Amino acid sequence: MKLATYQDSSRDGQLVVVSRDLSQAHYATGIASRLQQVLDDWSFLAPQLADLSAELNAGRARHAFPFEPARCLAPLPRAFQWAEVQTGAQAATRATPPLVQGAGDALLGPYDALRLPGDDLDIDFEAGLAVIAGDLRQGATPAQALDAVRLVMLSSSAVLRQPAEAERAAGLAPMRSRPGTAFSPVAATPDELDGAWQDGRVQLTLQCSLNGRRLGLCEAGAGMAWHFGELLAYLAGTRHVRAGSIVGSGALDGVDAARGQASIAARRAAEVAATGQPVTGYLRFGDAVRVEMKNRAGHSVFGAIDQEIAPLA
Amino acid sequence: MKLATYQDSSRDGQLVVVSRDLSQAHYATGIASRLQQVLDDWSFLAPQLADLSAELNAGRARHAFPFEPARCLAPLPRAFQWAEVQTGAQAATRATPPLVQGAGDALLGPYDALRLPGDDLDIDFEAGLAVIAGDLRQGATPAQALDAVRLVMLSSSAVLRQPAEAERAAGLAPMRSRPGTAFSPVAATPDELDGAWQDGRVQLTLQCSLNGRRLGLCEAGAGMAWHFGELLAYLAGTRHVRAGSIVGSGALDGVDAARGQASIAARRAAEVAATGQPVTGYLRFGDAVRVEMKNRAGHSVFGAIDQEIAPLA
């Protein structure tokens, strides 16, 4: 099934079930109002949502309405854990997955602008995949962790390269350099990926563009050095991981530089490698990043993240 | 007012109001069931809780019962943001507060054991203070951030020194080295500190002991290089901080080595400085850490954290 969260007057929004083709939606009212409720009680509530999803896909849901991605918050607008693979780390080979914890109190919706007081801090993005997990016991294996994957979605984390460099130089954890992460309108259970969910990786192409121009067609499967089971098992290495924790792949910059990248920093590095000079500039106010993933039939799986960079209101 | 969360069958527990002297409690039912609800709607709900608190303190609350700290979860059992000052950083002088994000999905109650598969990873704790904030806009000043402080409590973060050293050496953010943080039974509004809340610091003594023997009497005010307004404003440097975010001081190891420390690592460092040899060992299964803070009249302000180190069940 596919789930989304519509904005309402509350902080957590209203849970909706979305049809496979993203054309129709239906409030999950009567089953659950918020996604965290479902994650807290998955074995009881998810089958009920799956039934509603089947009705919706069959065109039999009574109160269906056209799905509008612009009304979406992040599928999980607030998360009790949000950890992501560090910048550039998917490309590296290391002994342990270099994950970093982020703040889950203000996750951005797919069309929320990234608002900053200035645009002179080398604003970048890192596009990838993220999964929402169920409960996972301490010491779980990667295979056990894969069983705890509940939902898959797209993510795009803003990264301010100047503060990031300053934090790194000072030996500090990322903090001011990561102002926010946007998520796709829809989160999908792995079975909605039509076989493209394989051993904790998604064997589809992540499409990233900048102001309507293609930045990258990145193979999401080959782009992940560690699969999601390995990432989650790492999080659970010394503690229980509780339902609703999100883990992200970080930038899926891809394995074929000729097909582009999922971040400007990687694009610039490729440009330097090719010509000795970076060409692509960092993001400025008015720029827009778009991230999407299509299935093998060419249909958008999660809807698109479409984020503008804008001045603080 | 003083608030606590009683364990029940839910993940977030039941909110209770606790009397100033920690002797009596009263369910907040009818006002709010969970602390996050109150934080989300503070200006509407907090005055109602304050009224109940006044009734309770006056002995007029109808359904009061004896307060049992052993029934408490963390005041906020799950938090959408949990950031803490890095190990040893309060003692250092730096340009920026070295905060690190943690996972908020499984905060520990005051009597929850810290459970690990083995006790050979140099298990330590870092005792300090933490505040729960309300909404704070991006770019807020330290003074504005102080106005967003809703509640104050004690914290004790477990730190595994061997993985911490490995993470540091590999340039990784803290992850497996920080298996969990315990909080005091009670969170108190700053006005409950009888004037000891001064400019974002608490001018009281943090008492830390190990298996009933004193480890430190640490001045919490002098021990903080940055006050809570500065820490919160740093978090809000490039993003909005949303209600329910927790920020911790990290180990308040104190300014007077003769009066002891709030972590074993700092104790060992003091021992090495004094005699050339560390004497105090890291924690082993069966060891217990106790953290408490008394007001000027000698009464416990938040109740005690009393945490045993135990094997994974």
Alpha carbon of A157: minimum distance to chain B alpha carbons (Å):
13
Task: Please tell me which of the candidates A101, A174, A180 has its beta carbon nearest to residue B103.
Answer: A101
Looking at A51, A70, A89, the residue that finishes a domain is: A70
Q: What local confidence, expressed as pLDDT, does residue A98 receive?
A: 86
CB contact under 8 A, A11 and B170: no
| DSSP structural state of residue A300 | B
Please report residues of B whose CB lies closer than 8 A to that of A242: 11, 78, 105-106
Give bridge partners of residue B306 from the DSSP assignment: B290
CB contact under 8 A, B103 and A96: no
Q: Are residues A24 and A84 in the same domain?
A: no
pLDDT, tens only, A255-295: 888 899 999 999 999 999 999 999 999 999 999 999 999 99
Q: Which two tokens stand for residue B145?
A: 């951030």
Q: Are residues A103 and A167 in the same domain?
A: yes
What's the rounded Cα separation, in Å, for the pair B13 and B75? 9
Burial of A234 (0-12, 13-18, 19+ CB in 10 A): buried
Please report residues of A whose CB lies closer than 8 A to that of B40: 11
Q: Encode chain B (313 residues) as per-residue pLDDT tens digits.
A: 999 999 999 999 999 999 999 999 999 999 999 999 999 999 999 999 999 999 999 999 999 999 999 999 999 999 999 999 987 776 666 777 889 999 999 999 999 999 999 999 999 999 999 999 999 999 999 999 999 999 999 999 999 999 999 998 888 888 999 999 999 999 999 999 989 999 999 999 999 999 999 999 999 999 999 999 999 999 999 999 999 999 999 999 877 888 999 999 999 999 999 999 999 999 999 999 999 999 999 999 999 999 999 999 8
Task: Please tell me which of the candidates B98, B101, B174 has its beta carbon nearest to residue A103.
Answer: B101
Q: Are residues B255 and B185 in the same domain?
A: yes
Alpha carbon of A151: minimum distance to chain B alpha carbons (Å):
17
Task: Please tell me which of the candidates A81, A86, A172 has its beta carbon nearest to residue B104.
Answer: A81
Q: What are phi and psi of A184, to 5 degrees?
A: -65, 160
pLDDT, tens only, B229-263: 999 999 999 999 999 999 999 999 877 888 999 99
Q: Are residues A126 and A10 in the same domain?
A: no
pLDDT by 10-residue block (mean), chain A, 313 residues: 98 98 97 98 98 98 97 98 86 78 98 97 97 98 98 98 91 91 98 96 97 96 94 96 98 87 95 96 98 96 98 90
Structural domain span for residue B140: 76-311
Give bridge partners of residue B132 from the DSSP assignment: B151, B246
From the candidates A230, A239, A247, A312, which should be mutated to test the interface with B, based on the most B CB atoms within 10 A?
A: A239
Please calculate the CA angle A225-A228-A234 and round it to the nearest 5 degrees: 90
Alpha carbon of A134: minimum distance to chain B alpha carbons (Å):
11
Q: Are residues A105 and A194 in the same domain?
A: yes
Nearest to A249 by CA among A75, A97, A124: A97
Q: Structural domain tally of chain B?
A: 2
* pTM for the structure as a whole: 0.97
Q: Are residues B124 and B185 in the same domain?
A: yes
CATH number of the domain to which A122 belongs: 3.90.850.10
Please report residues of B whose CB lies closer than 8 A to that of A98: 170-173
From the candidates A10, A12, A100, A101, which should be mutated to test the interface with B, based on the most B CB atoms within 10 A?
A: A101
Looking at B47, B70, B93, the residue that finishes a domain is: B70
Q: What local confidence, expressed as pLDDT, does residue B83 receive?
A: 98
Alpha carbon of A162: minimum distance to chain B alpha carbons (Å):
13
Q: What local confidence, expressed as pLDDT, does residue A313 receive?
A: 80
Task: Please tell me which of the candidates B40, B81, B175 has its beta carbon nearest to residue A99.
Answer: B175
Q: What are phi and psi of A176, to 5 degrees?
A: -70, -20
Give bridge partners of residue A307 from the DSSP assignment: A289
From the candidates A9, A41, A80, which should be mutated to test the interface with B, based on the most B CB atoms within 10 A?
A: A80
Looking at B45, B70, B95, the residue that finishes a domain is: B70
Q: Are residues A53 and A199 in the same domain?
A: no
Q: Are residues A117 and A248 in the same domain?
A: yes
Task: Please tell me which of the candidates A96, A101, A117 has its beta carbon nearest to residue B102.
Answer: A101
Alpha carbon of A147: minimum distance to chain B alpha carbons (Å):
19
3-state secondary structure labels for all residues of chain B: CEEEEECCCCCCCEEEEECCCCCEEEECCCCCCCHHHHHHCHHHHHHHHHHHHHHHHCCCCCCCEECCHHHEECCCCCCCEEEEECCCCCCCCCCCCCEEEECCCCCECCCCCEEECCCCCCEEEEEEEEEEECCECCCCCHHHHHHCEEEEEEEEEEEEHHHHHHHHHCCCCCCCCCCEEEECCCEECHHHHCCCEECCEECCEEEEEECCEEEEEEECCCCCCCCHHHHHHHHCCCCCECCCEEEECCCCCCCCHHHECCCHHHHHHHHHHHHCCCCCCCECCCCEEEEEEECCCCCECCCCEEEEEEECC
Quickly count: other Cβ atoms within 10 Å of residue B20's Cβ. Answer: 17
Q: Are residues B124 and B63 in the same domain?
A: no
Please report residues of B whose CB lies closer than 8 A to that of A86: 172-173
Residues ≥6 apart with Cβ < 8 Å to A254 = A206, A216, A217, A218, A219, A222, A223, A260, A261, A262
Q: Are residues B29 and B89 in the same domain?
A: no
Q: Are residues A97 and A227 in the same domain?
A: yes
Q: Are residues A189 and A274 in the same domain?
A: yes
CB contact under 8 A, A175 and B241: no
What's the rounded Cα separation, in Å, for the pair B77 and B160? 22
